[in-house]
Amino acid sequence: MMHSSWWLSALLLVPMVGVAFVLLVRRRPGASYAVGVGVAALEMALSIVVAWMYNQHLTRTGIDFAARHVISAPLGLAYDVSLDGISLLMVLLTSLTLLLALLGARDKRREPALISWLLILTTASMGSFLAHDLLLFFLFFELTLVPSYFLISQWGGTERVRAALKFFLYTFIGSVPLLIGILFLGFKNQHYVRGALNFSYTTLSAVHLSHTASVVLFCAFGFAFAVKSPIWPFHTWSPITYAEAPIAGSIEMSALLAKLGSYGLVRFAIGLFPLALSDMRPIVMTLAVIGILYGSAMACVAGDLKRVIAYSSLAQMGFITLGAMSGSQIAMIGAVLLMFNHGVITIGFFLLVSFIEKRRQVNTIKDLRGLQASAPVLAVLFTIVILASIGLPGLSGFVSEYLILLGSFATNTWWGVVGAFGVVGAAIYWLWVYQRVFHGKADAKNLAVEDVTNKERWVLVPVVVLILLLGVFPRPAIDKITPSIANLITHVSYSGVDK
């Protein structure tokens, strides 16, 4: 018997209830922040309980906590949520991101409004990962744009308005084909069964489509997810957005919103249109490896730390896309695992950048030199996160990338070979960044930089623990992911794609 879906409903409702409390106490100094942290802690606790209760063996598909309640049959509106191994790690990542963003990147400017938008963004992200109904997914998927826009435009840097508009327009326009594709599937299914509109993933995955229709719909869905991820060449909004957004906003967008794109690719584009994969796999995998190499090259010449992280993320999203499209079960497991691991690593990077900005008021690499002398613990923490991003054996990044490359070599050798150069590229640009920021002779301003405080060290403890734990003991996470990925691979193979 499945667990009650009320657990998932609680994950969606808790942040919104938190918004109401924030508004009630907004006039009391510090009260909004206390409420925000308390809500984030409760959300994290609920996510851990759900992960602990989740049983991938309850059903053949590995789906748990599922429930569907029709709101309006003529309109096809339904509250349809569920959890499986693909979405489980994303639920944990969503809660962790909110908690660490609040603890490590506090911004006291108009704090009640900032925290409210972060909580709304958490509900929208959580809903996207939990939605089993495509129309419900689209509503949550689009809802993420609103709080993201205001976070960038109201609390961002000097070019915040331009960055916010570029982010909103790119991702909003990218979602138009997604909505058209969802409606097409829903009406086609209604015509086929002569019943009410139904946008359930399970129902729509059984809709019979021609090869041409599958390719067109894959492109429609894939375009929206490619912009959101981002995947090269649809990435141009990300460098300026990451650079101009406040640290908490950058953490949310890089750790969560980017994963909405890759999650949508795995869950919907691949799951719903397996007939299109034979045509689209070479194209998308080519874009993925170009993104890996392009992101690595641009990270080498980026002038500030936030843009380095942005281009590094572009390369990492290329790895995720490579694994997702490879057709290999091992590589797809690695892609889902990298979605989580990259999120954790990115949180660590942005928190460390926020610590540097707080002390130096800049994050441009040319203004930072020799920080290791005055802030050795900061240097050590930065080293750990860098080595995880590079993919050093024994750290979380290695496990994910190894599975992706192993599976890609087996099914698509040349794409795997080219993608492997991205590992070398990551080592080049991150070690060069470290050398320029932490080595060398420091000037007076950099010599005066204080090391990380005890509170800042504790904030980074979950990041370091997860990097180490998933590097040496990834099996529990892999075991949770495997049944759902195996079911997806079976569905694709049954459709005749890989026979």
Pick the more confident residue, 262 or 367: 262
Q: What is the mean pLDDT of the chain?
A: 88
DSSP H or E run through 52: helix 31-53
Q: What is the pLDDT of residue 238?
A: 84
DSSP states along 72-130 = ETTTTEEEEEEE-HHHHHHHHHHHHHHHHHHHHS---TTHHHHHHHHHHHHHHHHHHHH
Can you give the pTM of this predicted structure?
0.92
Is residue 498 scored above 70 in pLDDT? no
DSSP for 336-376?
HHHHHHHHHHHHHHHHHHHHHHHHHS--BGGG---HHHH-H
Q: Which one is predicted more confidently, 1 or 311? A: 311
| pLDDT score for 499 | 42
CA proximity to 105, closest of 477, 483, 460, 362: 460
- Section 33-40 average pLDDT: 94
User: Does 66 score more than 70 pLDDT?
Assistant: yes
| Confidence check: pLDDT of 159 > 90 | no
- What pLDDT sits at residue 412? 80
**210-231: average pLDDT:** 91
Distance between start and end Cα atoms, the chain: 34
Other residues' Cβ atoms within 10 Å of the Cβ of residue 26? 16
Q: What is the mean pLDDT of residues 374-383?
A: 91
Is it the case that residue 407 has pLDDT exceeding 70? yes
pLDDT score, position 357 = 87
Kindly give, in sequence order, each residue whose CB lies less than 8 Å from that of residue 51, ignoring residues fewer than 6 positions away: 88, 91, 92, 480
The helix or strand, by DSSP H or E, that contains position 64, with its residue range, turns out to be strand 64-72
Percent of the chain scoring above 90 in pLDDT: 46
211-232 average pLDDT score: 91
pLDDT given for residue 96 in this prediction: 95
Output the pLDDT for position 2. Answer: 65
Of the ranges 4-18, 62-76, 324-338, which one carries the lowest mean pLDDT score? 62-76
Q: What is the dihedral of CA 383, 384, 385, 388, to 10 degrees?
A: 120
pLDDT at residue 448 above 60?
yes
The per-residue pLDDT for 496 is 53
Chain segment 273-326, per-residue pLDDT in tens: 998 888 899 999 999 999 999 999 999 888 888 889 989 999 999 999 999 998
Both tokens of residue 75? Answer: 């309109």
CB-based burial of residue 293 (10 Å sphere; 0-12 exposed, 13-18 middle, 19+ buried)? middle
| Packed helices 305-325 and 396-411: angle between N→C axes, nearest 10 degrees | 40
Domain boundaries, the chain: 278-492
Q: Nearest to residue 133, comparing CAs of 60, 75, 216?
A: 75
Whether residue 371 contacts residue 440, with contact meaning beta carbons closer than 8 Å, is answered with no
Phi and psi torsions of 287, nearest 5°: -60, -35
Surface-to-core class of residue 435, CB atoms within 10 Å of its CB (0-12 exposed, 13-18 middle, 19+ buried): exposed
Nearest to 469 by CA among 322, 331, 324, 340: 340
- The stretch 209-231 carries a mean pLDDT of 91
Percent of the chain's residues with pLDDT above 70: 96
Cβ-count burial of 366 within 10 angstroms (0-12 exposed, 13-18 middle, 19+ buried)? exposed
Asked if 181 and 217 count as a contact pair (C-beta separation under 8 A), the reply is yes
Say whether pLDDT at 156 is over 90: no
pLDDT of 434 above 60: yes
Neighbouring CB atoms inside 10 A of 223's CB total 20
Say if residue 155's pLDDT is above 70. yes
Q: Is residue 487 predicted with pLDDT exceeding 90?
A: no
**Mean pLDDT value of segment 243-248:** 86
Among 107, 61, 49, which residue's Cα sits nearest to residue 85?
61
Alpha carbon 438 to its chain centroid, in Å, reads 29
